[in-house]
Structure 1
């Protein structure tokens, strides 16, 4: 099949995150399976306009905002060329149904609903425009089309906050084969060590973790917090960092794995996620997560088994302290449960679910449910 995956960024973009991992892992597997795959995305300075990587044709154009009209023009010039288009929504989708050929199947891929996050990143008028495009305009443009969501939280938000009425299929994130490979748990740090992995952007709220550190160090003076990632909030967070906090910036996958494996806990302070890929990756290494009870993270974390959920607005330091206390007597149990949970997810399985969607007539499809996992 001829497949176009349209995504805001590619995995090599400086601002890439979990959505880019999702799109790329699926793209490369479709290519391995014999499909002809185009990955259409924005172009960061220094990136090639076109190249082929692992059998996938990368086509890059435009910046954060201009990529949308340029991709639509590119698709219009190739109207009818594609059998399937995966239109990935990162705040707003690309509205490819407006230019796709009559025989082209378009599936909107939604990681999470952004309505509450637009105001965190944008001036009020642009945030209002974003909510209008994500809500009423998207609902009209994709009416009658199938969608793909990565978690039950996303399905609920699409129904309740965006008024989405078409079929929504659940296709979750996977875990890399490297992390899924059987291995001995790396030696855990002898002193309490926390890790926070992700893009350093406003809605991740990493400052909430930094604010909790002085309180935690009253009980554990040698406690260390490792922050891994880069982004526009990095300079501000470095200024706010106290004793015991180390901001590593970008790390290779191998170095990141080594740091996460040594941690007692991962902490995720995000305002909301589609899923929280870093939670699943930490679980694959046997590391549980403390997170707020918000969209996506309440799906990725299984309280009492793979981590703990703190009520939104609750005392994060208190929640982390309770988790550390429990791990002093049950660390091995949590490690085993984390690995068992992560083992249920793979990119191969996610690709197989999507492949089943696009190779059968829409009328023959049953909506894929979370319970099928």
Structure 2
């Protein structure tokens, strides 16, 4: 998904203005204008992610409520998440433009940036772990899609006979059992639980090979594998909680300086990671709905608060029952799979015309979801990979600037 036009014009505007400044600090008014633009673009991008006709709190001076223009993507669908990640990548590019391009590096060694930037970089490291977990979770969803596809192909046969029903039931039972495996077991690949999760009765000829997991070691200067196994103690929920620790909105004079875009970008990072963890199966997500709340008085945060509230409500409903994730396609697969298992348990040959039409409609719905997942999961996984590498590069760029500051401020021994 290409960046928006406002994104390109924003970076061009900053580059042109800062090229006019040779050895002087950026004019304070210009800096305020750039920060204001950054806030507006963050708000605009997240407004586009809100569900159709979702009310948001007023951001304009007139105090009137606004509504969001209908968007074609269903909330928490694969297409919606691709749009979310694109919004993050655009915000991240603009953030670096505000923070680094043409900036006097000595700003980074002065309060409050000398504290806020290292904290932001630490959140980025934790987000890299979450990206790894999300990539592993997408592989698990691919496995579910393949199991559902087995059931679709079996129940599309006409006439439906007992052998077709048995094959579909075996695949769907394995699918539903895998979805109910506890979060603690999802990413811990070795062991009996993982074997249960990845296996389908091989004697029946319906075996599905689990996705390959790479275990190459980290080398200097290279990020670790995207699909590594997590220890049992790793927790996606605690990772989000740790990312939100010490994330406090700037006050006083800090609220008009560079501390503000750092806070905004950290908030966007936490919201995006929190949403991914809620939707995609990850290890240990207990209590996820209670983490991280943005201050309501911040205008740019209103669309994100709206999303958090909507997703939080859905999470609390599902958490009580146990959930494989809030991804829209997962919800449809789980619902239809349960209905088809009920049909298979009461199957009698021959199937009546009315029942055959009912089952046929459900199989068609399941087939359409499988196709949507087959088309969308690959690009989504690539986008998560792009997000991972973008964060690695951006972190390195900021560290380089901070290292330069350290060399400048270090006294030369005589």
Q: TM-score range by the shorter chain?
A: under 0.3
Normalised by the length of structure 2, the TM-score is 0.22
Structure-1-length-normalised TM-score:
0.24
More strand by share: 1
Largest Rg, 1 or 2: 2
Which structure has more relative contact order (CA 8 Å, sep 6+)? It is 2
